[in-house]
Amino acid sequence: MQAPRKPTTIVAAARPDADPAYAGIVPPLWASDTFRWDDADTKPTYDYARTVSPNRDLLCEALCELEGAAGGVVTNSGQSAALLALLLLPAGALVVAPQDCYGGTYRLIAGLEEQGKLRAHFVDMLDDAAFDAALAETPAMVWLETPSNPLLRITDIAKRASAARAAGALVVADNTLPTPCRQKPLDLGCDLVMHSTTKALNGHADLFGGALLAREEELVERLRWWSNAAGLNGSAQDAWQTLRGLRTLPLRIDRLEASAARIAAWLDERAEVLQVNYPGLPSHPDYALAARQQSGPGFMISFRLKDADAVAGFLSRLRLISLASSLGGFATLICKPATMTHRGMPPEAQAKAGIHPDLLRVSVGLEDADDLIADLSQALEGCRSQASG
């Protein structure tokens, strides 16, 4: 068997042979929604673009090689990839999910529960007793998301996945934050890996997309069936553009992470800062697990200021860093999860998940780290003069 190719090679080598008409090294955009048949009885590989699209296939091929998947589906958003995973379940099935999962995932699962379509149990994935108690209820699906968002706690994927599979559950991991450049959930025993390609995989903050990939071929067929039945597939244009963004993913992740590590260490030293959550800091409670499970700590940081009343002023003084939700793009973004990304989660659920009302989350971008630190620094200085004034 050939050694697996490295991510930089996978994304650079994504199909210079795919242009049969003119041999361009960039795969063409096949915008056509329908394709000609040679005769009425022989279905061509590509017939109708909701069902199959050459551009989605090229993107999917690269994503599958990055994640070590047998196959999968490219969807029109991260949320539709999550919905696709849930469509695999029979009515009334139990889903065990992290209490601090992505706000949209929480909203989707809780909304389906409210309608009686499935049952949900949100647990602290780091709590062995709570997780084992949830498994004893024989869930049909266990949802993992690590590092968690916005607290960046680390779940032991291999441990949770093997227990969940032994209990008969399908195991899904949302791998949006770490990307396959830093974490490979299928290698750690998950059945499915989910992505919002809106984030780092595209990396340019200019489209929506998602993907759901499976380790086994049998699941791939079911994903294709449901995505076609429900119309969850992404557009050819978005797939083409996402593959373009993906070309630089490994380079961008290296750079984002190097800057994030510097910024996290710098914030950790600041007198105005109460707490910094970053898996690359030795003070992080899951530092050792993160070092074992991930090939790097990633580009996301969250932190709290000592003076909760200073948050609004701090945010308003930032000039280079934009106040916006989303993550993994070229630009550094800061957000207040309680009122922005996680507002779909009721305040009681936020409190239980440890999402403090004044917690701030930073997705570090491609700007020079010194410039980012200077921006944070001047905004923090303002907090101090405000406190003394």
Catalytic residue list:
50, 102, 174, 199
CA distance 155 to 153: 7
Taking each helix axis from N to C end, the angle separating 103-114 and 78-87, rounded to the nearest 10 degrees, works out to 40
Q: Is 210 in the site for ligand PLP (CB under 6 A)?
A: yes
CA distance 87 to 341: 24
Q: Which residue is associated with the tokens 């406190």? A: 387
Measured in whole angstroms, how far is the alpha carbon of residue 213 from the centre of its chain?
13
Task: Give min distance, CB of 85 to ligand PLP, in A.
Answer: 11
Which of 53, 99, 179, 198 contacts ligand PLP by CB under 6 A? 198
Amino acid at the residue 389? G
Q: Is 176 in the site for ligand PLP (CB under 6 A)?
A: yes
CB-CB contact of 362 with 321 (8 Å): yes
Per CB under 6 A, the segment of 134-142, 196-204, 257-265, 291-299 that binds ligand PLP is 196-204
Q: Which of 374, 364, 153 is nearest to 254 (CA)?
A: 364
Task: Give min distance, CB of 326 to ligand PLP, in A.
Answer: 7
Task: Give min distance, CB of 110 to ligand PLP, in A.
Answer: 15
User: Nearest residue by C-beta to ligand PLP?
Assistant: 78
Task: Name the strand (E) or helix (H) holding 96.
Answer: strand 94-98
Task: Name the strand (E) or helix (H) holding 158.
Answer: helix 157-166
Residues 6 or more apart whose Cβ sits within 8 Å of residue 291:
none
Would you say 198 or 241 has its CB closer to ligand PLP?
198
CA distance 274 to 264: 13
Which of 53, 77, 294, 363 contacts ligand PLP by CB under 6 A? 77
Residues 6 or more apart whose Cβ sits within 8 Å of residue 177:
145, 146, 147, 149, 199, 298, 300, 327, 328
Amino acid at the residue 322? S
CA distance 113 to 138: 17
Per CB under 6 A, the segment of 20-28, 134-142, 169-177, 359-367 that binds ligand PLP is 169-177
Size of the site for ligand PLP (CB under 6 A): 16
Per CB under 6 A, the segment of 72-80, 160-168, 218-226, 240-248 that binds ligand PLP is 72-80
Which of 78, 98, 147, 203 contacts ligand PLP by CB under 6 A? 78
CA separation, residue 304 to residues 183, 272, 307, 369 (Å): 27, 9, 8, 20
Per CB under 6 A, the segment of 28-36, 191-199, 229-237, 283-291 that binds ligand PLP is 191-199
Task: Give min distance, CB of 341 to ligand PLP, in A.
Answer: 8
Per CB under 6 A, the segment of 77-85, 114-122, 364-372, 381-389 that binds ligand PLP is 77-85
Long-range contacts, 352-356 (Cβ 8 Å, 24+): 352/99, 353/99, 353/100, 353/151, 354/100, 354/151, 355/100, 355/150, 355/151, 356/304
Task: Give min distance, CB of 325 to ligand PLP, in A.
Answer: 8
Would you say 147 or 296 has its CB closer to ligand PLP?
147
CB-CB contact of 110 with 117 (8 Å): no
Would you say 296 or 329 has its CB closer to ligand PLP?
329
Per CB under 6 A, the segment of 98-106, 221-229, 294-302, 345-353 that binds ligand PLP is 98-106
Which of 104, 313, 344, 382 contacts ligand PLP by CB under 6 A? 104
CB-CB contact of 171 with 62 (8 Å): no
For 378, the token pair is 């001047």
Q: Is 246 in the site for ligand PLP (CB under 6 A)?
A: no
Q: Is 79 in the site for ligand PLP (CB under 6 A)?
A: yes
Q: Is 102 in the site for ligand PLP (CB under 6 A)?
A: yes
Q: Is 148 in the site for ligand PLP (CB under 6 A)?
A: no
Q: Is 177 in the site for ligand PLP (CB under 6 A)?
A: yes
Q: Is 361 in the site for ligand PLP (CB under 6 A)?
A: no
Task: Give min distance, CB of 185 to ligand PLP, in A.
Answer: 13
Would you say 97 or 164 has its CB closer to ligand PLP?
97
Residue ranges that bind ligand PLP, judged by CB under 6 A: 77-79, 102, 104-105, 149, 174, 176-177, 196, 198-199, 208, 210, 327
